[in-house]
Amino acid sequence: DAGVTQSPTHLIKTRGQHVTLRCSPISGHKSVSWYQQVLGQGPQFIFQYYEKEERGRGNFPDRFSARQFPNYSSELNVNALLLGDSALYLCASSLASGVPYEQYFGPGTRLTVT
């Protein structure tokens, strides 16, 4: 079975631009979460979606937004990019929302903002 897939793998953007990252969950999983991992740190929670509804939001500015589609795939959008947005963006899927459903991570999208 295919795991969590993310696209693109790498991305280079300029400050002020907009970016869209995509995630396809494991088949049968209805929940998708997004994390930001800055170099040298642990991942930080951005969003969780379950059944197309936002179920959790981390401490990130409104420039960050996301949505989940009827097929449970998800997009993360970041507007007005800053240098500090350079990071590895990880998507994780789980069967449902809440404990104790474990999360399975994709390979990530590495975003570089210049």
Which residues are at the interface with another protein (CB under 8 A)?
A: 4, 31, 33, 35, 41-45, 48, 50, 55-56, 58, 90, 92, 94, 97-108, 110
Minimum separation from the CB atom of position 31 to another protein (A): 6
- Residue number with CB closer to another protein (4 or 76): 4
- Residue number with CB closer to another protein (8 or 16): 8
SS3 readout for the chain? CCCCEEECCEEEECCCCCEEEEEECCCCCCEEEEEEECCCCCCEEEEEEECCEEEEECCCCCCEEEEECCCCCEEEEECCCCHHHCEEEEEEEECCCCCCCCCEECCCEEEEEC
Minimum separation from the CB atom of position 29 to another protein (A): 11
∠ CA(77), CA(56), CA(81), 5° rounding?
Answer: 25
Minimum separation from the CB atom of position 16 to another protein (A): 27
- Residue number with CB closer to another protein (31 or 68): 31
Minimum separation from the CB atom of position 15 to another protein (A): 24
